[in-house]
Amino acid sequence: MDVISVIRTKRDRGTLTREQIDWVIDAYTRGEVADEQMSALAMAILLNGMSRDEIAHWTGAMIASGERMDFASLARHTADKHSTGGVGDKITLPLAPLVAACGAAVPQLSGRGLGHTGGTLDKLESIPGWRAALSNEEMLGVLRDTGAVICAAGDGLAPADKKLYALRDVTGTVESIPLIASSIMSKKIAEGTGSLVLDVKVGSGAFMKSRDDARELATTMVGLGNDHGVRTRALITDMATPLGGTAGNALEVRESVEVLAGGGPADVVELTLSLAQEMLTAAGFPDADPSKALADGRAMDHWRRMIIAQGGDPYAELPSAREQHTIMVPASGILTRLDAYAVGLAAWRLGAGRARKEDPVQAGAGIEMHAKPGDPVTAGRPLMTLHTDTPEKFAYAQEALEGAYDIAPQGTEFAVTPIVLERVV
């Protein structure tokens, strides 16, 4: 094998063989194939696509580049969830303990935020003492004791994907659906879960801007999971508007605890319950009722046990930003649009996110939204409150919010977009 012939095959719209894929992924992981050569191949894939068999083989080769976890020793069936990322997307926090409270085990390997999208680990690290880095043995121990664990993926899972992900980010090849799907699914399959539910976001605050692209990505990933023996299904969900009433790390933890206590924003509760039902059905618990586990306190009990098991204090006061600035409603009427991307960008500029993976984040930074599309608003009342430790960032954040919302006259008919748009199995 040689890398030039592999690049030429895909450049000329050919189909890569299993042998070519296995060789190039292994050689790139070992450093035999240079970054510039893999960049050329990634661009050829972006431009010319891949067949289902090619994507399955590519995903399998990335899985084979590292270890594969095994939860066969657990007494429970395992179920996991992956979101393609959005603004205010704190769903994993209440979802994992909720599903555990209903009988499944949830081994949730999560990531950090980058750009306008938040990261689950960043949110949880605002809890004093909580730690994301667990060994495989520690992860298994938390799962046995509490039924759910949310932690960082170890270096041994799909190392080929780690190299390729970083390369795609700087070579304009992030948008390739075959590469997105294989990146996500190689890690999730290597994680060893028995079933997987995908939350594929679509809208201004999501990676996928069109319903057709979101459907293609969801269908590709569901096929990959099932081809590799993981029971997989997907929900396509709206991300034109931020989820819930907050975007920011500690702010979102507070809101998640409200959901676990039986309250919280209606959209967060709806999506949490929808994903929980999908996970439980896939894991073999079709008759479980997650709404009861929220109402009777079992989900909250599992949350507290999970946080304590990872060194955190679920009763501790969460960090708050030192400075706040409130944006007032300019005119009375009905809020008809609140752009998710603009809110995520503003939260990032306030310090809630990072531009590079190594950048720090402010635990208390972010945005509170006092109204959502469909709500009546009154001139002079708060629309959004900005939080940061660095008040010089307020003006920069407000620039991102210019034109981010629309207010129509009172009496205007307005239909709220449903959270769950489609189901893919």
Which residue spans of the chain are classified as CATH 3.90.1170.30? Answer: 323-408
The answer to whether residue 356 scores a pLDDT higher than 80 is no
Of 188, 222, 185, 199, nearest to 277 (Cα)? 199
The whole-angstrom separation of Cα 263 and Cα 246 is 15
The answer to whether residue 237 scores a pLDDT higher than 80 is yes
Provide the whole-model pTM: 0.95
Of 204, 144, 137, 159, nearest to 339 (Cα)? 204
User: β-pairing, 323-328 with 195-202?
Assistant: unpaired
Q: How confident is the model at residue 271 (pLDDT cuts 50, 70, 90)?
A: very high
Of 231, 150, 218, 154, nearest to 189 (Cα)? 231
- To the nearest whole number, what is the mean pLDDT of the chain? 96
Q: Tell me the longest C-alpha to C-alpha distance in the chain.
A: 68
DSSP 103: T
Taking residues 149-162, what's their average pLDDT? 92
Q: Where are the alpha helices (DSSP H) in 131-286?
A: 136-146, 159-169, 177-190, 211-227, 249-260, 266-282
Which sequence positions are flagged as catalytic? 82, 161, 168, 183, 187
**Chain center to CA of 169:** 17
Q: What are the pLDDT digits (tens) for 100-111? A: 999 999 999 998
Which residue spans of the chain are classified as CATH 1.20.970.10? Answer: 3-49
Fold adopted by 79-154+170-309? Pyrimidine Nucleoside Phosphorylase; Chain A, domain 2 (3.40.1030)
User: With contact defined as beta carbons under 8 Å apart, do 126 and 249 qualify?
Assistant: yes
Q: What percent of the chain has pLDDT over 70?
A: 100
Which residue spans of the chain are classified as CATH 3.40.1030.10? Answer: 79-154+170-309
Q: What are the pLDDT digits (tens) for 361-402? A: 999 999 999 999 999 999 999 999 999 999 999 999 999 999
The answer to whether residue 115 scores a pLDDT higher than 90 is no
Q: How confident is the model at residue 272 (pLDDT cuts 50, 70, 90)?
A: very high
Q: Give the pLDDT score at 175.
A: 86
Of 334, 349, 424, 322, nearest to 379 (Cα)? 334
Q: How many CB atoms lie within 10 A of CB 316?
A: 12
Coil, helix or strand at residue 153: coil
**Chain center to CA of 156:** 21
Q: Give the pLDDT score at 364.
A: 98
User: With contact defined as beta carbons under 8 Å apart, do 348 and 312 qualify?
Assistant: no
Q: Give the pLDDT score at 174.
A: 85
Q: Which of 3-17, 108-122, 366-380 has the lowest mean pLDDT?
A: 108-122
Q: What are the pLDDT digits (tens) for 298-345? A: 999 999 999 999 999 999 999 999 999 999 999 999 999 999 999 999
Fold adopted by 3-49? 1.20.970
Cα angle, residue 283 at apex, residues 282 and 288 outer, rounded to 5°: 90
Taking residues 91-118, what's their average pLDDT? 93
CA distances from 304 to 37, 97, 129, 263, 270 (A): 48, 9, 13, 17, 22
- Domain range 323-408, its CATH number among 2.130.10.30, 3.90.1170.30, 3.30.565.10, 1.10.357.10: 3.90.1170.30
